[in-house]
Structure 1
Amino acid sequence: MKIAMIGASGFVGTRLLGLLSEYPQQYDCRNIDLLPSHFFNEITTIGDVRSQEQMDRGLQGADVVILLAAQHRDDISPVSLYYDTNVGGMEVTLKAMEKNGCKRIIFFSSVAVYGLDKPNPAENYPADPFNHYGKSKWQAEQVLQRWHESHPEWNIDIVRPTVIFGERNRGNVYNLLRQISSGKFLMVGKGENKKSMAYVGNIVAFVKYLIDNVTEGYNVFNYIDKPDNNMNQLVSHVSKVLGKHIPATHFPYWLGMMGGYCFDLLARITGRKLTVSSVRVKKFCATTEFDATKAHSSGFKAPYTLDEGLARTLEFEFVHPRTDDITFKSE
């Protein structure tokens, strides 16, 4: 099976390429990305998902397209880049697929399409994105919906993962784990808000499951590793894995938001991208719990529990000596 990935030089794409490369007789993979790949550069072609010519050429002969390319950070400027890449890139990809006779696509969307503090939304929950990333992902899904109406024979699978973490990732979960493990962690709020997460080893295994088993129709799946931990439970688990007592000082929400606004002002004055912002404080204190019944009742069996994924990440990042400094930045 010839698989063309768009945007697979990043964190999830690299792990997905690593998994599929274990089955060379089954999958023939290629990667098209703006950046070279740390581990799979021999199958990587430099290309921009916004370029029709480059995508027309890059998707030749593909049986399945996996679209990972996206603008995803909280602080992208100008904001039009979210829509140029996340929505415009979808339109370009579909046209290139049609030109090349490819009728299967797996698209990485996001639970950001639901918005914040929603009551455990399943896939049929109304979209209510609160930021440009979520809005652009939802618009890209709408492009797919309209496309499928006129191309009902296509197989379109949409994955809406929650925040993804794992070895080598440098995003919000890593920053949180690093702060907790340092013993200097400041808990904003009571710590009872639940945080849904997905271990990268499980999300790429789910994509492989889709490639092999979900080959017809238009399908949308939330992906979350269950059960969800709240912040207090997460701190306790980190303490157990690392074998040390980790105090957690609680600060009221209003004080945390004031601090976030101060960092917003500092970032605007200095022009620097800071790890703390009002948006990130708001996201930290929000309950991010999503229903993943559909994915976990599809026949897919996650190879790791959530706690195993957290333990593997903590041991790789904070326990065992590193042999290289390769990391991937995300949210």
Structure 2
Amino acid sequence: MNYIIFGGSGFIGTHLIHLLKDECLKPGDKIYDLDIVMPGEEGVVPGIVEKNEGVEYIRLDVRQAIEFDFEPTKDDIIFNLAAVHRTPGHPDHAYFETNIRGAENVTAFAEKHNIKKILFTSSIAPYGAAEELKTEKTLPTPNTPYGISKLVAEKIHQMWQVKDEKRELTIVRPGIVYGKGEHGNMTRLYKGQKKRYFFYAGRKDTVKASIYVKELVRFFKYRMIDNDFVGTDIFNCTFEPAYTIEEICTTMQKATNMKRNIPLIPGGLLMFAASVLGPIGGKKVGIHPDRVKKLMVSTNICGKKLAASDYKFHYTLEESFRDWFNDCNKEGLF
């Protein structure tokens, strides 16, 4: 069988490839990493430069019609991880070009080769920014180009599935995904605490739904390899209940042997500082208006459906931070 990973050179894809190689490959199986960039190139997971033996790396742009040489089998699985996702960071049109066109081309490829199993990584962004708890049944109300593009991409994948009742589609909406090579929100949070420039923005009880990258790819394996099903299912992928920013900071400090007292700064004052520092390099340390706003608004995502499934979590929050810390030789979280 073939494991076909679109966007496999990125953060989540790199960890998925490691898991597939370590636990899933059987004689004759193949892994394809199809991405516009290759491991070690600028813009790929920092610090991860090597290619994995036994993986076929093919440079491919999902914005274009997809074709490459391979031998299809009846058991092939597509993991569609390809996306433009950093916010802020891209012009609005970039999210639509890659995320929507990519969904169209990936599902067309699956249809052409009669591939019946797709896992699509969406986002919690389609829910929109609001304090209310969101379940998989919550009406999506995206308010960013990224969130809108992801919701449309979900619908494109669902349209592919309903054309054949035997097709299997899993849509995952992960919270903040963190772990080695992330270089995103959690990495900035660690550095901010370590260097004493992180402050609670107006409150300490902001809910931040999150999941460890190794946990997330294990759920991929559980859904697509360990089980068979038909139809479409959507899962919020996050700890249940989701943790507050204070709980995350306290646990991160404990797991990495750090002791810090984090001040609480009025939100208005921090926004003013961000508006002044943002244009002159504040983005590098997270002092950016868009990021400060994100700190002040909860991502209150319900993970009860995942918790009630047969999938068993492998890591607590503290264990996940310790594992990440160990992966970095206890030198930090990066």
Relative to the length of structure 1, the TM-score reads 0.88
Q: Does 1:301 align with 2:312?
A: yes
| Bigger shift: residues 87-96 or 21-30 | 21-30
Residues in 2 aligned to 1:223 and 1:205: alpha-carbon distance in whole angstroms: 11
For residue 262 of structure 1, what is the aligned residue in structure 2?
Answer: 276
For 2:329 and 2:266, how far apart are their aligned partners in 1? 29
Partner of 2:298: 287
Alignment of 1:228-247 (within 5 A): 228-247=242-261
Do residues 8 (structure 1) and 8 (structure 2) align? Answer: yes
CA positional deviation for 1:162: 0.5
Distance 1:148 1:222, change over 3 A: same
Question: Which ranges of structure 1 fall in alignment gaps of 5 or more residues?
Answer: none
The residue identity in structure 1 corresponding to 2:296 is C
Query: Which residue, 34, 44, 54 being the options, matches 1:32?
Result: 34
Q: Deviations over 1:200-247 (max 9, x none)?
A: 110000000011214311111110023432222222223323334301
Alpha-carbon shift at residue 256 of structure 1 (Å): 1.7
- Structure 2 CA distance for aligned equivalents of residues 210 and 115 of structure 1: 26
Question: Within the alignment, does 1:223 sit opposite 2:234 as a pair?
Answer: no
3-state DSSP of counterpart to 2:313: coil
Q: Percent identity over the alignment?
A: 27
**Count of residue correspondences:** 318
Out of 40, 51, 55, the residue aligned to residue 64 of structure 2 is 51
2-structure distance, mates of 1:168, 1:76: 18
Query: Residue 20 of structure 1 aligns with which residue?
Result: 20
**Partner in structure 1 of residue 146 of structure 2:** 133
Cα distance, 1:199 vs structure 2:
0.3
> Is 1:114 aligned to 2:127, yes or no?
yes
**RMSD after superposition:** 2.4
The residue type equivalent to 1:196 in the other structure is A
- 1:16–1:204: 8 Å Cα contact kept in structure 2? yes
Query: CA–CA distance in 2 between the matches of 1:263 and 1:287?
Result: 24
Give secondary structure in 1 for the equivalent of 2:68: helix
Q: Which has the higher helix share?
A: 1
Q: Which residue of 1 aligns with 2:45?
A: none
Distance 1:96 1:303, change over 3 A: same
Q: Which amino acid aligns with 2:6?
A: I
Output the amino acid matched with 1:34.
I
Report deviation, 1:264: 4.4
Q: Which runs of 5+ in 2 are unaligned?
A: 40-48
Aligned residue identity for 1:256: L
Partner of 1:70: 83
Q: Which amino acid aligns with 1:245?
A: K
Per the TM alignment, residue 177 of structure 1 is displaced from its structure 2 partner at its CA by 1.3
Q: Retained in 2: the 8 A contact 1:263–1:274?
A: no
Letter in 2 for 1:290: I
**What SS class does the counterpart of residue 294 from structure 1 fall into?**
helix
Cα 1:115/1:228, change in 2 over 3 Å:
same
